Structures are given as structure tokens and as C-alpha cells.
Amino acid sequence: MVDKSYEAIVIGAGPGGYPAGIRLGQLGVKTLVVDKEYYGGVCLNWGCIPSKALIAAANTYQDLAKLETMGIRVEGASIDVGKLQDWKDGIVQKLTSGVKGLIKANKADSVIGTAKIVAKNRVEITLPDGKKELVEASKGIVVATGARVIQIPGMEIDGQTIISAREAVSLREAKGTMVVVGGGVIGMELGMVYQKLGMQVIVVELLPQILNGVDTDMVKVVQKAFEKTGGKVHVEHKVEKIERHPGGGAKVTIASKDGKTFAVDADKVLMAIGFKPNSEGLGLAEVGVKLDPRGHLVVNERLETSVPGIYAIGDVIGAPYLAHKATKEGEVVAEVIAGHKAAVDWRAMPSAIFTEPEIATVGLSETAAKEAGRAVKMAVRHTDGFVKTIVDAKTHEVLGVGIVGPEASDLISEASLAIEMCAFAEDVHLTVHPHPTLGEAVMESFKHALGEAIHVLNK
Ligand code: FAD
């Protein structure tokens, strides 16, 4: 006997699940959103939002030193990391409670409980008091359960000395040394925060460069800026051993590719080697949902899994692990369940890295365009950072843009729109951009790709 009947059930209230629930509600589909822990998922609780709040504060603190050159003197500046965390917690609290309200305002229901699929159209929910409810979904079930931190056996997260991003966004002190294991996006963003707040940060990366997957010329700008603030980077190195000290902290043994080792005394070790999908314990195998070798749910462009009526969105279906990708998929899956013709198009999915300076990309990178054998024209305009424009050599169709520099995460939206609209380089080149703005660098880069730049030499 089912306890409740809905048309759609969304499992997970992260940036994938809650927009799906909201949009389903807007479309008149009777929907229940269920989350086992909190509203807003990783992004709002210990991911995007708290990390960006800390990044903004750390940048402001560091920029105080630069004010002197403008003639502004700030004397005796200091930072109270505990108070900074209280401010950040306030932002998180406001946003997460807002999510619950938005779901309700859009006429969808929500509940805290752990969900398990027990049949193709049924979900069992274990409520916080242990009671179980059987809920039916006549039109579709959406799996939006996200991903979790990967741990290295023997170096498990203890929450005190060996920490993940979850604890790193809530440290109430920034003293001593932090070893960051993994120089990916999260390792570099949080590493830069704590370097600016006063720690000595050492990044250990197994691969030949940090921020793997991003064009090397863009990465170099960020690494240089990090090292300028005193941060250290060891590429082609790995953390071999972590020996915890009884009173806190640890001895971290780091080995180079050729086997040479050295040890560092660390107060905190931030494990940032990646994420894996939350696809276990959901009853997926029992109903026949197909997974890829890494455990992601396999979906088509309508976000439907191998089982009709079971859909999946967000981190649980694979990279890029980004909140706005999850949200877009949430909106699309709602349209699909409501019976509309809809499909996702991942071509114009931007990506932003909130290091200093920021990196933002959309479409094909230079490396990917070359690997795909595309004949492309490229323009790179250098200032403090640069804009890199990749256009088809013959048609001038915009294929990709990469920006490294201040406000890159905002500037990239123009390039995303260009790719989404199948625009040509001329479209951006001929669009007048107000002066003096950073947006002009994007316009100039497209002019440069066409050999018509005004402020840089055309080659
Ligand atoms: P999640 O946010 O993981 O949400 C999944 C939800 O499902 C969770 O709330 C979980 O409790 C729930 N759940 C899991 N299993 C069950 C179950 N059985 N029953 C009920 N509920 C369940 N992305 C960006 O785009 N920009 C950024 O700047 C950015 N910064 C980040 C910084 C950090 C430090 C981290 C860790 C991540 C960051 N990300 C960023 C990534 C972003 O947080 C994720 O891509 C995003 O949260 C994925 O959304 P999701 O809805 O797929 O999953």
C-alpha cells in the first residue's frame, strides 16, 4: 500500500534537484522533493556559496595592501577568521532556508528523509525518526543525489587534521601550514584562500600541471599569482604518507616522480583529489538502471536512464561537476516529465574557477580544438591576464573562449551566449562594448581573431 501519490519525485535538493522541483511545480506537475540532509545540496551548504564567500573576504583582505598605491592608507588591518565564518554561515543559512520556501511557493512538496527506489515508480523514504513511507510517482523519478569526496585508503578524513572541503570552508583559525593534496579547482580555490588568510599553503599535484584540463598558458598565470603570495606548488609529486601527531597536525611525506622524498609538518591536510557519484544504496541495480564504470548513471539527452521513467541530473551523471550544469539539467528534466519536447545541449556550458585571477572557459579549449583536428583561428590578447578566442578558420563560427583575469567568471557569459546562438566572430566584434570596461577585452579578442584589432597588433 502506498502512503502518498505524486506525479514526480525528485531525490536530492541540491542545485540539480531543487530547481527541478520548482520547475515541475511551475508546470503543474504534482511533485515531492526529498533530501536526506539539507536544502541546497553541497553547493549551498559547503561548496560554491561558502567557498565563494571566503574567497571574496580573503581577496578583500589581501587587496587592502594594494590600496597604498592608490594613496589610501589602511593601518592595523587584521582578520578574525572566526567572525568571517559567522558571516559566511549567515549567508548559507539565508540561502538554504530560502530554497525550502521557494519549493513551497512553487507548489511542490518537500521532506527531509533518505530515499530508495524500490520499484520503477516507487520510492521508500526513511524519515529522520526512522519511520518509512512508500511514495508513488506516476510520471517520473529524478535521481539528483550528487557526489561525495574521494578518500585515499590509509589517509581517511578525520575532520580535524585531515580534512575535506566540507571542513575547510569552516576553519575558525588560519595558522600554520596546510598541505593541499590535489591541485584541482577546489584545492586551488581553497588553498589560495588560506594562503591569503595567513597560512603557508603547499599544493601537491600528481599530474604535470595544476588545474588539469585547463590550457597551460592560462594555468601559468594563476600559479604565478599563487606563488607570489608565498604559496608553493609541487607538480608530479604525491603524498606518500600522513603520520598524525597525537596533539593535532601531522608529518606529511611527499615523493617526487623519481622517488625522492621530503617531509612537511602540517597543521591541516586538505584532501582534494576529486569526487565520486552518490549512486550506491539507492536501489538502482535492483530496478536495472545502467551505470558507467565510475558509478555515474548513464542518461540520454532527455536525461532518462536505461529505465523509462527514471531520470538523473547533476553530479551523479558525471563531469563537469558544476552547479549551473545541474540546474540546467534540472530545468530540462522538468520539461521532459511535463511532456514537453526538451533536451540538454552541453555545448555552451561555461566553467569558472574562482582563483585569483579567475579562469573561465566555454566551448572548445585550444588543446581540445587541436585534438579534434579543427582548423581554427586563434586570438590571445594579453593584459594582466588574457582572453583566448577560438573560431572556425573558414566560417568564423565561435568554437570556444577562455579568459584568465579579473571578473572572468562574469565576462564568460557573453561567450556562452555566442556559442548558444551559433554566433560568428563578427557578431561579437561588431557589438559595441562600453568603455572603459573589461568586456572590451572580449570584443577586442574577437576582432584580433579576424585580424581587425585596434588596440593590439594583428598578426
Ligand atoms: P549535490 O549538491 O551534491 O546535492 C545532492 C543532494 O542529494 C544532497 O543534498 C544529498 O543530501 C542528497 N541525497 C543524496 N543521497 C540521497 C538519498 N538517498 N536520499 C535523499 N537525498 C539524498 N560548482 C560550480 O558550478 N561553481 C562553483 O563555484 C563551485 N564551487 C564548489 C566548491 C566546493 C568546495 C565544492 C565541494 C563544490 C563546488 N562546486 C561548484 C560543485 C557543486 O557544488 C556541485 O556541482 C553541485 O552541488 C552539484 O549539484 P547536485 O544537485 O548534482 O548534487
Give yes or no for residue 386 CB within 6 A of ligand 1: no
Q: Is the confidence at residue 153, as pLDDT, over 90?
A: yes
Give yes or no for residue 284 CB within 6 A of ligand 1: no
Confidence of residue 382 (pLDDT cuts 50, 70, 90): low
Give yes or no for residue 146 CB within 6 A of ligand 1: yes
Q: Is the confidence at residue 144, as pLDDT, over 60?
A: yes
Cell of 25: 511545480
Give me the catalytic one of 324, 340, 435, 448.
435
Confidence of residue 1 (pLDDT cuts 50, 70, 90): confident
DSSP-derived pairing of the beta strands 4-11 and 132-143: parallel
Q: Summarize the confidence of residues 87-102 as an average pLDDT.
A: 96
The closest residue, in CA terms, to atom 29 on ligand 1 is 48
Q: Is the confidence at residue 85, as pLDDT, over 60?
A: yes
Tell me the best of 145, 149, 273 to mutate to test the pocket of ligand 1, counting ligand atoms within 8 Å of each CB and taking the most: 145
32 close to 16: Cβ distance less than 8 angstroms: no
Can you give the pLDDT at residue 377? 79
List pLDDT tens digits, range 95-123.
999 999 999 999 999 999 999 999 999 99
Percent of the chain with pLDDT over 70: 99
Give yes or no for residue 11 CB within 6 A of ligand 1: yes
- CA separation for the pair 24, 146 (Å, rounded): 19
Give yes or no for residue 4 CB within 6 A of ligand 1: no
Q: Summarize the confidence of residues 49-59 as an average pLDDT.
A: 97
Higher pLDDT pick, 382 / 80: 80
pTM: 0.96
Cell of 242: 600522513
Report the chain's terminal Cα–Cα distance, integer Å: 73
Q: Summarize the confidence of residues 290-307 as an average pLDDT.
A: 98
User: What is the distance in A from the centroid of ligand 1 to the CA of 321?
Assistant: 8
Count Cβ atoms within 10 A of the Cβ of residue 115 and give its class: 0-12 exposed, 13-18 middle, 19 or more buried.
Answer: buried
Can you give the pLDDT at residue 457? 85
List pLDDT tens digits, range 214-234.
999 999 999 999 999 999 999
User: What is the distance in A from the centroid of ligand 1 to the CA of 199?
Assistant: 27
Can you give the pLDDT at residue 383? 55
Q: Summarize the confidence of residues 340-363 as an average pLDDT.
A: 96
324 is catalytic: no
Name the nearest CA neighbour of 231 among 261, 267, 203: 203
Confidence of residue 384 (pLDDT cuts 50, 70, 90): low
Name the nearest CA neighbour of 385 among 366, 411, 367, 364: 411
Can you give the pLDDT at residue 66? 87
Q: Is the confidence at residue 80, as pLDDT, over 60?
A: yes
Can you give the pLDDT at residue 458? 86
Give yes or no for residue 315 CB within 6 A of ligand 1: yes
List pLDDT tens digits, range 166-209.
999 999 999 999 999 999 999 999 999 999 999 999 999 999 99
Percent of the chain with pLDDT over 90: 92
